[in-house]
Amino acid sequence: MASTFVNNLRLEEMATGEQSGNWGTKTNTNLELIGEALGFGTEAISTNANTHTTTIADGASDAGRALFLKYTGALDSDCTITIGPNTMKRVHIIENATTDSGSSGPYNIIISQGSGANVTIGNGDTKVVYLDGAGSGAAVVDAFVDLDLSGGSVNVSTVKTNSGDMTFDSAGDIVLDADGADLIFKDGGTTIAKFINSSSDFVIATDVDDKDFIIKGQDSTSEITALTIDMSAAGAATFNNDVTAFSDERLKENIQPITGGLEKVMQLQGVTYKRNDVTDAKTQIGVIAQQVEPILPEVVLTAEDEMGTKSVDYAKMTAVLIEAVKELKQEITQLKQQINNGA
């Protein structure tokens, strides 16, 4: 009986009585090939080829035998690589190190073994694939498409897909821990937003000029925009409906009426102005926070920024205006009585 090469490493399996006097040499060759199978190999694709065949030779050295297989060469289109024989069951770590021969790339390599499924590897990417060795219908499987990390972890710098969605499905919480750094969201390599831990403040920052920050929801079958924040220097916020704050008596204590409302209002000055930090600013009306603060400190807030920028809670000023109108009404009533009594 002659030697056979049907195993997954294509090593020579010597039959009884075969290779007399050569067993030592043949055994050493097999051991060397096992070493190659556990190592690194590079295989060049012909320039601009759209197909390529890698065949694991019977009992002989070849780059395609390596566990880690790197493909090189200049391409002008995607290239389908068929790894044979199609009865061989193997795991490969394959890198797409090809270059672009023109200006329209870079290009993918597509790993195939038979008429079954194949795996696409983007330029510059590396994937772990499994060849199922099912003959003419053999398939190639991306070993990490569904990666179960239950009770474990993986350390990587970049995770990406060449097509389709990336799904995180967890029975518990999904935790993103940047360890003091920012969480950055990109689209096509361009940063569009960041989650920032700034002195324990949670900051959502956008990096796209003059674009809005929008919160949307679903009402029955209709999409609604609940909040739109203008992220230009103007910084306006638009709500779809009312904005309210808790004012329940059960949540309050030490309730005291506002006194001297009219006197306080008389000290306030309404102004028109334009913002000097906004391009093409429109004329607006309002008050000056620094002027209001000595009179109504409860409605003025000071930001924890470098300037200590001040803002005014205009809604809270309504309570003072209510009492001012009541005082004014009382004065008018008294004047009417005096006039009537004088008459």
Residues 192-228 have pLDDT tens digits of: 889 998 877 888 888 887 778 888 888 888 888 888 8
Is residue 186 in some structural domain? no
CA distance to 20, 30, 301, 307, per residue, from 24 (Å): 10, 10, 88, 83
Is residue 35 in some structural domain? yes
Average pLDDT, the chain: 87
Tokens of 86: 């199609």
Residue among 66, 3, 60 at smallest CA distance from 29: 60
Percent of the chain whose pLDDT exceeds 70: 95
Domain count, the chain: 2
On whether the CB atoms of residues 52 and 46 are closer than 8 A, the answer is yes
Residues 131-141 have pLDDT tens digits of: 999 999 999 99
- From 113, 142, 171, give the residue that closes a domain: 142
CA angle at 65 for the pair 49 and 108, rounded to the nearest 5°: 35
Is residue 14 in some structural domain? no
Over residues 318-325, the mean pLDDT reads 96
Q: What does the alpha-carbon distance between residue 340 and residue 284 come to, in Å, rounded to a whole number?
A: 43
For position 25, what pLDDT does the model report? Answer: 80
Residues 28-87 have pLDDT tens digits of: 887 887 878 888 999 999 999 999 999 888 878 888 888 999 999 999 999 999 999 999
Is residue 83 in some structural domain? yes
Q: Which domain holds residue 279?
A: 258-325
Is residue 7 in some structural domain? no
Is residue 88 in some structural domain? yes
Which string of b and e fits 37-61 if b means at least 16 CB within 10 Å?
beeebebebeeebeebebebeeeee
For position 343, what pLDDT does the model report? Answer: 60
Percent of the chain whose pLDDT exceeds 90: 46
pTM of the predicted protein model: 0.53
